[in-house]
């Protein structure tokens, strides 16, 4: 092992030039018909460009033919069976194309961020695959859960565990931790994205960025 380590080149920190910007990511939230992206369908997608918080995306779509739909998912996002099959809504493929077009236009970075961001990324990837679209997003992402966990441990606090000994830092916990109200129910994809974005801003940059939350003081 020592021989292997000695053979590696020295670690040199990259010479980054800070340009005064605080944020380099797209924060998103997907509402869907279930937990499995390969069989479920996107119902709505909300996103915000953290470099330019007024640059936002929100669209709804009807489910693709044959998509698996769970009552549990609809109870969370508030869509009805009639709404998710509404022929006047765009298709999932059209929504995916619209989001890719938005995300590759003005945002300066295509790093995705969210609460449990792997779920949202996998749904976007699956939708792009079904639509025969190239997915421009990488697997290196930012998860608000991890940011809150690390912030708590840095302050000497013990992150909460549930009865199964898994992390109990869900979005509502993260929102309370940074001093803003819990997400309204039923869940809305754009509201979710704004909530995720504000958690990131308060944890990573110690400031409020989303105008809807600037009236709430930081608790730390």
The predicted structure's pLDDT at residue 93: 98
| Unique residue bearing structure tokens 């969210």 | 114
The residue extents of the domains of the chain are: 24-213
Structural tokens at position 25? 């990511």
What does the pLDDT read at residue 107? 78
3-state DSSP percent of the chain in helix, strand and coil, to 5? 35, 15, 50
**Whole-angstrom distance between the N-terminal and C-terminal Cα of the chain?**
43
Tell me the CATH architecture of domain 24-213: 2-Layer Sandwich (3.30)
Q: What's the sign of the alpha-carbon dihedral 33, 35, 37, 40?
A: negative
Low-confidence ranges of the chain (pLDDT < 50): 4-5, 11-13, 16, 18
H helix intervals, 14-116 = 71-77, 81-84, 92-103
- What pLDDT is attached to residue 18? 45
pTM of the entire structure?
Answer: 0.89
The answer to whether 148 and 111 are in contact (CB under 8 A) is: no
């Amino acid at each position: 092992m020592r021989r292997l380590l000695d053979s590696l080149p020295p670690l040199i920190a990259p010479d980054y030039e800070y340009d005064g910007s605080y944020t380099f990511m797209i924060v998103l939230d997907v509402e869907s018909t279930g937990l499995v992206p390969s069989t479920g369908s996107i119902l709505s997608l909300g996103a915000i460009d953290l470099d330019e918080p007024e640059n936002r995306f929100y669209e709804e779509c009807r489910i693709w033919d044959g998509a698996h739909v769970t009552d549990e998912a609809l109870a969370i996002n508030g869509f009805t069976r009639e709404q998710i099959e509404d022929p006047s809504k765009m298709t999932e493929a059209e929504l995916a194309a619209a989001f890719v077009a938005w995300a590759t236009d003005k945002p300066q970075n295509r790093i995705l961020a969210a609460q449990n961001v792997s779920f949202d990324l996998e749904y976007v990837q699956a939708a792009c695959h079904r639509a025969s679209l190239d997915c421009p997003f990488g697997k290196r992402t930012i998860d608000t859960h991890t940011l809150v966990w690390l912030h708590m441990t840095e302050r000497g606090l013990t992150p909460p565990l549930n009865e199964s000994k898994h992390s109990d830092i869900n979005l509502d916990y993260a929102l309370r931790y940074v001093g803003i109200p819990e997400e309204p129910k039923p869940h809305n994809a754009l509201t979710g994205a704004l909530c995720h974005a504000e958690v990131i801003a308060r944890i990573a940059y110690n400031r409020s960025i989303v105008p809807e939350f600037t009236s709430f003081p930081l608790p730390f």
